Amino acid sequence: MKNFLIIGLGNPGDKYKKTRHNIGFMVLDSLLENLNLPSVTPFAFNKKINGELATILVEEKIHLMKPMSFMNLSGEPTVAAMKYLNIQADDLLVVHDDIDLPFGQIRLSKNSTSGGHNGIGSIIEHLHSKDFTRLRIGISTGLSRQKIPTEKFVLGKFSSEETVELEKVIASARECIESFLEDGLEKTMSNFN
């Protein structure tokens, strides 16, 4: 049975719950909620990997994980989870926000640089490789291009206008993940990028 690990990046704690940086957590929550399968275990904290872990059994075993370290330290729990679950980099998908993409756009890529994203930088550093798949979700708006510090923008909550569109964005990311699991990287990239 093949194992997959899907990691959604974010920051732990209620303070960060609805912030732009936590869209990776939101997508994983939505993925789990929208699966009508009998063989789903809900998110539960696992101290061995310092993350919340959920498992879905279909033809393969799909693990969803939300690291409970802060975003900039995502590499340690990611590598711990990979060792704990015996996951290879080829079977890793990381879902995260991207301030360089317009709000709502999604891009699937493999073997790319961190692009200045500290969570991805931490994973690359701890994994000693950038050869894994990423689903980037655009959060850039006119506001992010003004003179607001990046950290303040990504840790800010979605505006009311963005919140109206957010469910569609999350649904699109969810469909992309489902396609990736079913059809593989190349086909999914041609359909969603």
Closest CA to 95 of 27, 168, 186, 19: 27
Tell me if the pTM is above 0.85.
yes
d(CA 50, CA 126): 15
d(CA 105, CA 99): 11
Question: Which of 21, 63, 96, 117 is the catalytic position?
Answer: 21
- Whether the CB-CB separation of 4 and 123 falls below 8 Å is answered with no
Q: Examine the residue annotation and report whether 21 is marked as an active-site residue of this protein.
A: yes
pLDDT attached to residue 1: 57
Q: Give the chain's domains with CATH numbers.
A: 3-192 (3.40.50.1470)
Q: Is 181 helix (H, G, I), strand (E, B) or coil?
A: helix
Closest CA to 89 of 117, 131, 47, 28: 131
Q: Is 28 helix (H, G, I), strand (E, B) or coil?
A: helix
Query: What pLDDT tens digit does each residue of the chain (193 aa) get?
Result: 578 999 999 999 999 999 999 999 999 999 988 876 667 888 999 999 999 999 988 777 899 999 999 999 999 999 999 999 999 999 999 999 999 999 999 999 999 988 889 999 999 999 999 999 999 999 998 776 677 888 888 999 998 989 999 999 999 999 999 899 889 899 999 999 8
| CA R_g for the chain | 15
pLDDT attached to residue 38: 63
pLDDT attached to residue 75: 97
